[in-house]
Amino acid sequence: MAVPARHTSSAKKNRRRTHYKLTAPTVTFDETTGDYRHSHRVSLKGYYKGRKVRDDTK
């Protein structure tokens, strides 16, 4: 089994982990429905780019 030749210091470990970040979700205001939605997604009311693309009547 492979074993590291040198002990990884806490500073080296922490420098490596500085790039592990959470990104905030991109939420935009939809002018058509007046709701907030994710970018490049259909809104909950079925609108995308100002047009009705999904019919919710069942």
In the chain, how many H helices and how many E strands? 1, 4
**pLDDT for residue 58:** 58
**pLDDT for residue 18:** 93
Burial class (CB in 10 A: 0-12, 13-18, 19+), 10: exposed
- pLDDT per residue, tens digit, the chain (58 aa), is 899 899 999 999 999 999 999 999 899 998 888 999 999 999 888 999 889 998 875 5
Sketch the domain layout of the chain as residue ranges: 26-50
Is there a contact between 35 and 43 (Cβ–Cβ < 8 Å)?
A: yes
